[in-house]
Amino acid sequence: MHPFHRYWSTASGSFDQMHHHYPRFYRGPSRLVWFAIGAAAATWFHKNKENMECNANGYCKTVKVIHHPGDRTDDEQTQKVSRTEERTWKWEWPPKHQRPEDYRAGIPDPVRPQPPQQPAPPMQQQWPPWDSHVADDILADMSKKASETLTELSSTINAFNAKLAEREKERREMERKWEEERRNPPKIV
């Protein structure tokens, strides 16, 4: 497309600024048509692939049954099995059970758990007898550790306060020097 295609003159007259859809004005909505064609092709491909593999119930193709060599006993039985394994293209409803007895015959009986004969005796722990000396020792150790922790904490706080006081002193000294330099600037010769 030419850079000045908007300003070209036509047989019917000259257009100064044409509508921004003018270059494909007579071609129609091509994007929409191609989108519809693509969607239809994708849908057809997907459905065709499903139909070729099998339908939702799996009745289109039969699964090949693999027999172990020990299962085969005579040639006639093998020939019957090989004839039935051939691919067939017929579809049938699954067999229906005519009577409830037939239906129940295919279901195994549920196994019911047997209740325990006797409940287990409750577990009883034997605690050692209470010793007041052990409790006193534990309390003494806890109070000793607490006092050591408080001592360490107070020494840390005191060191931190001393460091803050030292920094404050340095800051005031620096401010005093800056103020003095501002009042009496150094003379550069």
| 48-85 pLDDT per residue, tens | 887 777 655 555 555 555 555 555 555 555 555 555 55
CA distance 187 to 184: 9
Distances in Å between the Cα of 122 and the Cα atoms of 114, 115, 118, 125, 152 are 21, 18, 12, 10, 49
Between CA 47 and CA 51, with CA 50 as vertex, the angle to 5 degrees is 85
Q: Which residues contact 61 (CB under 8 A, 6 or more apart)?
A: 53, 54, 87
Query: What sign does the dihedral 145-147-150-155 (CA atoms) show?
Result: negative
CA distance 66 to 53: 20
- CA proximity to 76, closest of 65, 88, 84: 84
pLDDT at position 64 is 53
Contact between 87 and 62 (Cβ < 8 Å)? yes
- CA proximity to 25, closest of 40, 6, 46: 6
* Average per-residue pLDDT for the chain: 74
pLDDT higher than threshold 60 for residue 159? yes
pLDDT at position 23 is 57
pLDDT confidence of 1, banded at 50, 70, 90?
Answer: low
DSSP at 25: T
pLDDT at position 78 is 57
Contact between 85 and 62 (Cβ < 8 Å)? yes
What's the whole-number mean pLDDT along residues 157-165?
Answer: 97
Give me the residue label for tokens 């006092």.
Answer: 147
Please give the residue that has the higher pLDDT: either 55 or 119. 119
pLDDT at position 41 is 97
What's the whole-number mean pLDDT along residues 21-47?
Answer: 81
- The answer to pTM > 0.75 is no
pLDDT confidence of 118, banded at 50, 70, 90?
Answer: confident
Q: Which of 17-21, 86-90, 129-133 has the lowest mean pLDDT?
A: 17-21
H-helix or E-strand spanning residue 87: none
CA distance 142 to 154: 18
pLDDT confidence of 116, banded at 50, 70, 90?
Answer: low
CA distance 59 to 62: 7
